[in-house]
Structure 1
Amino acid sequence: MKASALLLLFAVANAKHEQYQGWKSYFVKPSNRVQLEVLGSVVQNYGVDFLSNPAVERNGLALVKPELHEEFIKLLEDHGIAYKLHAEDVKAQLDIDDKLFETRRRESSGKKNERIPFDYYPELEEINEYLEYVAEQYPNLVTIVYPGYTFEGRELKYLKISTTNFEDEDKPIILIDGGFFGRDWITSATVLFAIYNLTQTDMLHDYDWILLPVVNPDGYKYSFTNDRFWIKTRSTDQHLFSTLCPGVNANRNFNFFWNTLDTSYTPCADNYAGNKPLSERETFVLRFSLDEFIPRIVLYISMHSYGSLILYPWGNDGSLSNHAFALQSVGVAMADTIYANSLPDFPRYIVGNSVLVTGIKTSGTAVDYAHKLGTPLSFNLELPGIGEGTEGFHLDPKYIEQVAKETWAGIVVGARRAAELFGRT
């Protein structure tokens, strides 16, 4: 009986990540804008998944299906784009990551910053418990908002943090979110760290805050249990084939040039935009927060992973908005502060328009949508990730607190600059 149980356990563990059997991953480094634009096209034309978007003279990390290996390498060589193999076997590397993550969890110091760990990636249930705890511990500062449920029935929730219960209309609002893509675990941990700091510092005196640690709870949960690289929501009501290929890319689902660039009409694609703008309950929640407070929101930061990039609108064509100077200057101020607090393990942040930096045109993104509504400073913050060695696909949990600390330092500077430029006097 014991032998049978052990065999079953081994079989289950061995079957995990099976969908990535035969996949490979490559570092790719464009040396100029022409090469960058070629790489931008492979997402749309070949379905290559970039865990980290490349920039000029900056590596990106591409996941490549078995049937695309030869074609992908030929395209790189035809255009003279530098590349090198990262992982010969994606599944095997994910198995190594799993062991590392489990080791870090077991070895967790047990230290809790107000009951939340920052030395391993918390599961969804732990995050929800922490949000409830903070609301209970700081009832005069923190309000937990329950705007509805996900497609799979999980409770959506976010925090409003204020010394004046959002009633002082002269106070600017800072909006921060994470967890748009299920697999971006570090983004949620970073927002949780911001929540912890807001209960311990004086950053509430002059600002009100809205924080959504997990925009996409269903996707976050699924990335822990079924598919480590899962991006989308888990809805099955968007297309005739959605029951076979669930979900919508939440960051292509907003009403800004919706479904025109870097999207797909097939629900099986990671960049499927849904059957209409704001079709997903998760994106509707963010839209509700923006609509309710748009006259006062001066800074919106959407956390993503990874790449060490601070990107701003417009993402559909690379043109610059009327607030381009402020976006660049505040972005640089945040990047400089992060760099001053960073480890040498991470590259310095690149700041700029999203198309000009990455070579990829996008539509339906939250950052562009918020900027269109009137948020003057709207940023996509791509957190740091792995280097150029043989590390796994995801940041070693030992770096979580460091990334969260340096990011928080950048957020503080961004909030202060935003209030100086756009807060009411």
Structure 2
Amino acid sequence: MKTLIIFCLVAAVSAKHEAYLGWKSYYVAPSTQDQLQSLGGMISGFDLDFLSRAALNREGLVLVKPEYQSGFVAALKNEGIQYWVHAEDVKAQLDLDDQDAEAVSRSTPPKGEMAYDRYQPLQVIYDYIDSVAKNYPNLVTLVTPANSYEGRPIKYLKISSTNFEDKSKSLIFIESTTHAREWITPPVATFTIHKLVENLTNPDMLERFDWIVLPVVNPDGYEFTHNSTRFWRKTRSMDHFDGQRCPGVDGNRNFDFKWNTVGVSSNPCGETFPGGAPFSEVEIRVVRDILHENLDRMVMYLSMHSYGSMVLYPWGHDGTLSNYAFAQQTTAVNMVKAITVRALPDFPKYTIGNSKLVIGYPTSGSSQDYAHYIGVPLSFTYELPGLGRGLLGFHLSARYIRQVVEETWEGIVVGARRAGQLYGPSNRYY
């Protein structure tokens, strides 16, 4: 019996990540704007899946299925785009990632607590925010506005020293994990909660601001990445055409701004499939409703993603700049300066700018653009650091989680102060 158990355990480990047998990953490093645009144009043709976005003189990391590898390499050579193999065997590298995660930490924090030495499953995150709401009722309100497609609660916290009743205070909204596989983003959200409630070292963050923090926009997808397919990006809905065969929608292409126009896939199996209609996804409707319900005082919206070490702002669909571009740029610069003071040399330096101009290809239906379109003056996408040259894994090693959350918090503080100064309720005449 003991031998049988050991055999079953070995078989289970070896079977994990089988979906990625034969896949390769490549670093790609465009050196001109034309090369960057050409790279963006290859996404649909070769069904590319970028884990880390490329920028000028900044390599990106892309997954390529077996049937597209030779054509993709030929296209890179034809365009003169520098590339090199990151992992010859994606499954084998994922297995090594799992071993690294176990080596860093095997422990689970006590119920209701949060630790930053491993990537936590959904229940640990939910237990933590439930506990914070219970232990700090004068500061924190737990809101569960809806259930996900598969029936999981979608939870967020409203954090305020005045119970959201002081209309002179500005409001900041932070959300993460729209893309399920981006495991470094929920720690940033929960650490923000920690710094606002349990370890308040910046008192003006509560004196001047109210906060909404949504740690897991996409709980179905997040669970799926932990229990089944590591690189799953989308929701898990099946109520669109061909949904049974190809479930899910890219939540960051599902907002009603230039929806389904550029930078999307019409193939429901594609990573950037925008859904059958704007706001088709209940998870995205939750984000939409938070934006609209608090628009009168919301001065900054931060959507946390990974990887890339970037702070991006509208407009993503065509690369034009909004009337608030100067404020967006200067606020992003200040946030990145604060991050850089705390950053490690292991991570690439942050890049700042208009999202289309920085990454070289357009996106439509994004939360960043929608929030700005309806009236949030400062709307940013954070691409958190990780997966730079020399960091060989597919998710940032858990040993770096605390570093990322601490340095990102410094940027959030500076951004909030700048947003309140520019667009606090007494200054909102736009």
Question: Which residue is equivalent to 1:15?
Answer: 15
1:68-107 alignment to 2 at 5 Å?
68-106=68-106
Amino acid aligned to 2:133: A
Write the distance in 2 (CA, Å) between the matches of 1:383 and 1:171: 28
Question: Which residue is equivalent to 1:29?
Answer: 29
Write the distance in 2 (CA, Å) between the matches of 1:43 and 1:212: 30
Question: Which residue is equivalent to 2:331?
Answer: 330
CA contact (8 A) 1:86 1:390 kept: no
Question: 1:264 deviation in Å?
Answer: 1.9
Question: Which residue is equivalent to 2:290?
Answer: 289
Question: Which residue is equivalent to 1:311?
Answer: 312
Question: 1:391 deviation in Å?
Answer: 1.6
Question: Which residue is equivalent to 1:231?
Answer: 233
Write the distance in 1 (CA, Å) between the matches of 2:276 and 2:380: 26
Question: Which residue is equivalent to 1:181?
Answer: 179
Write the distance in 2 (CA, Å) between the matches of 1:12 and 1:178: 31
Question: Which residue is equivalent to 2:346?
Answer: 345
Amino acid aligned to 1:159: L
1:21-420 alignment to 2 at 5 Å?
21-106=21-106, 115-199=113-197, 200-201=199-200, 202=203, 203-239=205-241, 241-389=242-390, 391-420=392-421
Question: 1:43 deviation in Å?
Answer: 1.5
Write the distance in 1 (CA, Å) between the matches of 2:116 and 2:275: 34
Question: 1:266 deviation in Å?
Answer: 2.2
1:106 aligns to what SS in structure 2? coil
Write the distance in 1 (CA, Å) between the matches of 2:35 and 2:267: 27
Write the distance in 2 (CA, Å) between the matches of 1:171 and 1:367: 22
Amino acid aligned to 1:306: Y
Query: After superposition, what is the alpha-carbon deviation per residue over 1:117-163, rounded to whole angstroms, capped at 9, x for unaligned?
Result: 01110100000000100001110000000101001110111000001
Write the distance in 1 (CA, Å) between the matches of 2:37 and 2:59: 14
1:321 aligns to what SS in structure 2? coil
CA contact (8 A) 1:309 1:349 kept: yes
Runs of 4+ deviating beyond 4 Å: none
Write the distance in 2 (CA, Å) between the matches of 1:390 and 1:419: 37
Write the distance in 1 (CA, Å) between the matches of 2:11 and 2:239: 33
Q: Does the alignment pair 1:5 with 2:5?
A: yes
Name stretches of at least 5 consecutive residues in structure 1 with no aligned partner. Answer: none
Write the distance in 1 (CA, Å) between the matches of 2:260 and 2:8: 44
Write the distance in 2 (CA, Å) between the matches of 1:107 and 1:128: 17
Write the distance in 1 (CA, Å) between the matches of 2:18 and 2:111: 36
1:204 aligns to what SS in structure 2? helix
Query: After superposition, what is the alpha-carbon deviation per residue over 1:76-113, rounded to whole angstroms, capped at 9, x for unaligned?
Result: 111111111110000000000011112223168x6x89
Alignment: residue pair count: 422
Query: After superposition, what is the alpha-carbon deviation per residue over 1:20-51, rounded to whole angstroms, capped at 9, x for unaligned?
Result: 00111111101110000011111122210110
Write the distance in 1 (CA, Å) between the matches of 2:69 and 2:22: 10
Write the distance in 1 (CA, Å) between the matches of 2:166 and 2:45: 50
2:312 aligns to what SS in structure 1? strand
CA contact (8 A) 2:112 2:129 kept: no
1:335 aligns to what SS in structure 2? helix
CA contact (8 A) 1:114 1:196 kept: no
User: Normalized against structure 1, the TM-score is what?
Assistant: 0.97
User: Normalized against structure 2, the TM-score is what?
Assistant: 0.96
Write the distance in 1 (CA, Å) between the matches of 2:102 and 2:12: 16
2:184 aligns to what SS in structure 1? helix
CA contact (8 A) 2:112 2:124 kept: no
Write the distance in 2 (CA, Å) between the matches of 1:72 and 1:54: 16
Write the distance in 2 (CA, Å) between the matches of 1:9 and 1:115: 30
1:115 aligns to what SS in structure 2? coil
Question: 1:114 deviation in Å?
Answer: 7.4
Amino acid aligned to 1:291: H
1:307 aligns to what SS in structure 2? coil
Amino acid aligned to 2:144: Y
2:42 aligns to what SS in structure 1? helix
Identity of aligned residues (%): 51
Question: 1:65 deviation in Å?
Answer: 0.6
Amino acid aligned to 2:340: Y
The alpha-carbon distance between structure 1 residues 149 and 113, as it changes in their structure 2 partners (threshold 3 A), is closer
CA contact (8 A) 2:112 2:127 kept: no
Q: CA RMSD for the aligned pairs?
A: 1.3
The alpha-carbon distance between structure 1 residues 54 and 214, as it changes in their structure 2 partners (threshold 3 A), is same
Amino acid aligned to 1:97: D
1:173 aligns to what SS in structure 2? strand
Name stretches of at least 5 consecutive residues in structure 2 with no aligned partner. Answer: none
